[in-house]
Amino acid sequence: MATGRTHRPATRSRGIPEATVARLPLYLRALTALSERSVPTVSSEELAAAAGVNSAKLRKDFSYLGSYGTRGVGYDVEYLVYQISRELGLTQDWPVVIVGIGNLGAALANYGGFASRGFRVAALIDADPAMAGKPVAGIAVQHTDELESIITGNGVSIGVIATPAGAAQQVCDRLVAAGVTSILNFAPTVLSVPEGVDVRKVDLSIELQILAFHEQRKAGEGERVALPIEGGDLEPSPGGSRGTEGERVALPIEGGAQAGPMARAGQDTGAAAGGRQQGPDGDVPAVMPA
Amino acid sequence: MATGRTHRPATRSRGIPEATVARLPLYLRALTALSERSVPTVSSEELAAAAGVNSAKLRKDFSYLGSYGTRGVGYDVEYLVYQISRELGLTQDWPVVIVGIGNLGAALANYGGFASRGFRVAALIDADPAMAGKPVAGIAVQHTDELESIITGNGVSIGVIATPAGAAQQVCDRLVAAGVTSILNFAPTVLSVPEGVDVRKVDLSIELQILAFHEQRKAGEGERVALPIEGGDLEPSPGGSRGTEGERVALPIEGGAQAGPMARAGQDTGAAAGGRQQGPDGDVPAVMPA
DNA sequence: GTCTGTGAAAGGATTCACAGCT
DNA sequence: AGCTGTGAATCCTTTCACAGAC
């Protein structure tokens, strides 16, 4: 990239690679855990192990943020926590609305993760009139009719969609029209949004299917067992489609493609195996500032 | 790759790229929807739009599976549904256990996605004795003590961890010891597993943080507003770490990295093909690859 | 003419390996 | 001596663009 002449590039180069951005939260979590244990500094090797990546990748990632480490020593934990938080935009408060308070929506609302680290549940919205007024996670559910006023009134720019697939696009359109520019979609649907709007998708069924793919490969080590499927024909059935298919579906939950912290690549072991980074009782969830 | 001499390579080349595997579930979902509407054939352009990717990518992906299309016509929907299902290992039944029946675990158990398409919830497990015997989603919750016998008794190879972060590694170790080789982790922790075990992670707080990053960029268009953070120092505070830190977070839910299907499904082609898919207004997030 | 399948080019991301600071 | 920061090499993914099948 840059000539690399100055040993302090520019604090923040213009573009941080997406892959790096996706890992910053992992580093932040590991760092916060260290911070809680009052660990003052950490080496790239140690931090990488705690985050489940290898040290070369971590150093490269940090190099995009600037030179925050000290050669021969490592990184100052507190300082890095601040820098990464700032880079991720977590030093400010982000009001979030959750639309669709079913099982999943309620679980999300109850999840502590929202309350901490810059995210605040500004409102819970559901289309069922019977839900209106009911408290979930200490917050009264509001009816969909109020969606627009809630968004504009609270300056919400991030929305979470946890509705059934059939309602997702409609909800999405309304959120966007009201001013939301980032959406976390749990519904198993591809959402269409105008340019400038960010959508991330979380799809459980997709994750399970990816696991099934690898699981199958393990099982059929060297041999491929093809068991008969109920109703499955090798050739396309000319008849109707319905029948066996039933409803497709799925709870959403997915992201992209990374194949997990470890696993298949035998060598990745180095990073993970290298250390039992987690403490016996879990690695500490984390910590972060309110 | 192969010389491409034979127009029917080998039905299944040895290795399908991870990025492709991660997209197969998307194609499958779109195809199933078409199948339900009794659509007989579909072009790469149409299917790509429905799945939220561009057609070149889709064709390349399918080329790894074999030549299942017909030039000048498109793909036979039913046939492709079968081929992809088979490739993903969904033509067989996968018993799954969910450990940790809190809000999230219950939401997952209730989610229809499990019941369909090859996955079956074989058991719900929780450490709270008070939960034992209680029915959730029609299945009686069992105590953690029975974890090993449940796994071996049902031949479970896929486990879902929805416990608090502190219990995740321990649960993971027990699942693996009992024979589970694929894990879907919802706890905000990096899990250590032996080689051969696949772990996929889903982390909500990470997804939100990634959205916040892009959201911040949009806000500071051309100008970077640095609002003062409460308690945030530029220099590392030498003092203790606690104080402001509070609790970190995170409901999990993440995967990899894909940033969303992006804009319109309709003209995805144009957008992508044209060139910079991102909009003119800046860098816009964008789409991430795996 | 239409639309798939795929080499080849382009673009990213990861890993290597070592120069250079402490 | 120890550890970061980073060019260079490698590997993976996406996009282009067109030959070839229908």
- For residue B260, say whether its CB is under 7 Å from any atom of strand D: no
Determine whether the interchain pair A22/B85 forms a contact, defined as Cβ–Cβ distance below 8 Å: no
From chain A, pick out residues whose CB is under 8 angstroms from the CB of B25.
Answer: 203, 205-206, 209-210
- pLDDT exceeds 70 at position B89: yes
Q: Which residues of chain A have pLDDT under 50?
A: 1-13, 222-290
**Token couple for B63:** 């080329």
What's the pLDDT score for residue B112? 78
What's the pLDDT score for residue B118? 87
Q: What is the domain partition of chain B in residue ranges?
A: 18-88, 94-204
Average pLDDT over residues B34-38: 97
- For residue B44, say whether its CB is under 7 Å from any atom of strand C: yes
Render pLDDT for B68-85 as a digit per residue (tens, 0 to 9). 999 999 999 999 999 999
Query: Architecture of A94-204 per CATH?
Result: 3-Layer(aba) Sandwich (3.40)
What's the pLDDT score for residue A10? 36
As a whole number, the mean pLDDT across chain B is: 77
**Token couple for A150:** 């809630």
Query: Chain A interface, mutation test: which of B200, B229, B268, most A Cβ atoms within 10 Å?
Result: B200
Query: Architecture of B18-88 per CATH?
Result: Orthogonal Bundle (1.10)
> Residue A200's Cα: distance from chain center in Å?
8
| DSSP summary character for residue A220 | T
Those residues whose C-beta lies under 8 Å from the C-beta of residue B116, and which sit 6 or more positions away, are A246, A247, A248, A249, A250
**Token couple for A51:** 């985050």
For strand C, give the nucleotides within 7 A of a protein CB: 1-8, 12-17, 20-22
What residue spans of chain A are helical by DSSP H?
18-36, 44-51, 55-65, 77-88, 103-110, 112-115, 147-154, 165-178, 204-219, 269-274
Render pLDDT for A213-235 as a digit per residue (tens, 0 to 9). 999 998 775 444 433 333 333 33
Chain B 4-33 residues whose Cβ is under 7 Å from strand D = 7, 17-20
Q: What residue has its CA nearest to the C1' of C20?
A: A71
Least reliable range by pLDDT among A30-34, A248-252, B27-31, B241-245: B241-245
Query: Smallest CA–CA separation between B178 and chain A, in Å?
Result: 16
Read off the pLDDT band of B117 (50, 70, 90).
Answer: confident
Q: What does CATH list as the number for A18-87?
A: 1.10.10.10
From chain A, pick out residues whose CB is under 8 angstroms from the CB of B77.
Answer: 236, 241
| DSSP summary character for residue B142 | E
Give the torsion through C-alpha atoms of A31, A32, A38, A40, to 10 deg: 30
Determine whether the interchain pair A255/B251 forms a contact, defined as Cβ–Cβ distance below 8 Å: no
Q: Which residue of B has its CA nearest to A199?
A: B260
Read off the pLDDT band of B14 (50, 70, 90).
Answer: low
> Residue A280's Cα: distance from chain center in Å?
25
Render pLDDT for B140-151 as a digit per residue (tens, 0 to 9). 999 999 999 999
DSSP of B60-116, one letter per residue? HHHHHH---EETTTEEEHHHHHHHHHHHHTTTS-EEEEEE--SHHHHHHHH-HHHHS
Say whether residue A177 is in contact with chain B using an 8 A CB cutoff.
no
Biggest alpha carbon distance in chain B? 70
- pLDDT exceeds 90 at position B262: no
Render pLDDT for B174-195 as a digit per residue (tens, 0 to 9). 999 999 999 999 999 999 999 9
From chain A, pick out residues whose CB is under 8 angstroms from the CB of B260.
Answer: 185, 191, 193, 198-201
SS3 B191: coil
Alpha-carbon distance B193 to A272, whole Å? Answer: 8
Distance, first Cα to last Cα, chain B: 22
SS3 A229: coil
User: Higher-confidence residue: B77 or B13?
Assistant: B77
Query: Smallest CA–CA separation between B205 and chain A, in Å?
Result: 6
